[in-house]
């Protein structure tokens, strides 16, 4: 890796990290480095300074906080996918984290880094959006909360302001009756998602009461498949699910790249949403 020159500081406290970032607009937070370092190596980013936030206690770990699970920004994908709380209270997050790249990346890459980076092809943004997570951000000015629906602003752009650090995300516990599925479509095990569908479905008496569906890589930001969510409400399991999922690509603007053209992504969104909903509702 031959990046341009930069300074490096390892922050010893959250407020120091905020100060460092506030005092230099070209400084960047360094978490697991799995997205930032490739940008540096390709000289697509020239930060003046990297502020290493790897050792801040406020950002670490996964915590059971009663009505929600708090996932620290610096929790690695590996930590998240193995966490007992995550697997019992918000298993969708674990299911998606387990699909990220390979063990090496999962041991360094972080939950917060994935979200702050706001890559629409990332797997976690769509999941947190589907689960209505609440982002906790901190800057020299203090702490604020950002609902998931407002966090993802544009391609590689989040609602975090310059100098703001993502501390972690509150994932509300959904309680009994919910099922989950993450359907990832990609060409090789280590390749990024072409289209991903995160589904949470609450079922009772053989019908779907409520569904939440997040789509990855169907636009510059992750999106909710609202039309399908509405259509599924109260729907019995069976063949009609497929029909309801035909609207999965409504209000999306899928990208065109080497791996897929938009019309193919739209088609995939419909097929995969059906599979994800079936998976989440335990229907064969």
**17 lies in the site for ligand FAD, by CB under 6 A:** no
Q: Which of 188, 205, 234, 284 is close enough to bind other proteins by CB under 8 A?
A: 188
Residue closer to ligand FAD by CB (options 122, 219) is 122
**43 lies in the site for other proteins, by CB under 8 A:** yes
- The sign of the CA dihedral 246, 252, 258, 261 is positive
β-sheet bridge partners, residue 8? 50
Q: Which of 8, 25, 66, 102 is close enough to bind other proteins by CB under 8 A?
A: 102
Q: Which of 70, 152, 178, 192 is close enough to bind ligand FAD by CB under 6 A?
A: 192
- Walk across the sheet containing 49-52 and list its strands: 7-10, 49-52, 27-30
Region of 20-28, 122-130, 150-158, 260-268 interacting with other proteins (CB under 8 A)? 260-268
Q: Which of 191, 230, 253, 282 is close enough to bind other proteins by CB under 8 A?
A: 191
User: What is the rounded distance in angstroms from the CA atom of residue 213 to the CA atom of residue 58?
Assistant: 30
User: What is the rounded distance in angstroms from the CA atom of residue 51 to the CA atom of residue 113?
Assistant: 13
Please count the other Cβ atoms lying within 10 Å of the Cβ belonging to residue 212: 23
Contact of 19 with 140, CB cutoff 8 Å: yes
Minimum distance from CB of 264 to other proteins (Å)? 5
Max Cα–Cα distance, the chain, nearest Å? 62
Residue closer to ligand FAD by CB (options 34, 273) is 34
Minimum distance from CB of 165 to ligand FAD (Å)? 4
Please count the other Cβ atoms lying within 10 Å of the Cβ belonging to residue 49: 16
From the list other proteins, ligand FAD, none, partner contacted by residue 54 (C-beta under 5 to 8 A by kind):
none
- How far from chain centre, in Å, is Cα 112? 9
From the list other proteins, ligand FAD, none, partner contacted by residue 100 (C-beta under 5 to 8 A by kind):
ligand FAD
Minimum distance from CB of 190 to other proteins (Å)? 6
Q: Which of 68, 117, 274, 278 is close enough to bind ligand FAD by CB under 6 A?
A: 117
N-term to C-term CA, the chain? 47
Q: What is the DSSP letter of 76?
A: B
Contact residues for other proteins (CB under 8 A)?
A: 2-5, 38, 41-43, 102, 185, 187-192, 194, 258-261, 264, 267-268, 271-272
């Amino acid at each position: 890796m031959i990046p341009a020159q930069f300074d490096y500081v390892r922050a010893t406290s959250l407020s120091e990290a905020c100060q460092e970032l506030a005092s230099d607009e070209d400084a960047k937070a360094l978490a697991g480095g799995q997205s930032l370092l490739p940008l540096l190596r390709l000289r697509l980013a020239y930060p003046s300074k990297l502020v290493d936030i790897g050792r801040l206690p406020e950002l670490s770990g996964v915590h059971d906080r009663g009505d929600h699970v708090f996932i620290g920004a610096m929790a690695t994908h590996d930590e998240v996918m193995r966490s007992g709380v995550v697997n019992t209270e918000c298993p969708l997050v674990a299911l998606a984290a387990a699909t990220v790249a390979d063990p090496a990346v999962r041991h360094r890459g972080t939950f917060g880094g994935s979200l702050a980076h706001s890559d629409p092809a990332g797997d976690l943004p769509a999941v947190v959006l589907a689960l209505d997570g609440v982002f906790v951000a901190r800057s020299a000015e203090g702490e604020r909360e950002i609902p998931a629906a407002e966090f993802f602003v544009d391609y590689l752009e989040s609602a975090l302001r310059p100098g703001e650090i993502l501390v972690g995300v509150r994932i509300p516990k959904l309680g009994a009756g919910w099922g989950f599925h993450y359907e990832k479509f990609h060409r090789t095990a280590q390749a990024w998602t072409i289209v991903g569908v995160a589904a949470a479905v609450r079922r009772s008496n053989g019908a779907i009461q409520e569904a939440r569906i997040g789509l990855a890589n169907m636009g510059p930001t992750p999106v909710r498949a609202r039309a399908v969510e509405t259509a599924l409400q109260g729907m019995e399991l069976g063949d009609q699910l497929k029909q309801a999922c035909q609207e999965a690509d409504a209000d999306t603007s899928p990208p065109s790249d080497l791996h897929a053209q938009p019309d193919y992504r739209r088609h995939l969104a419909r097929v995969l949403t059906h599979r994800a909903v079936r998976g989440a509702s335990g229907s064969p």
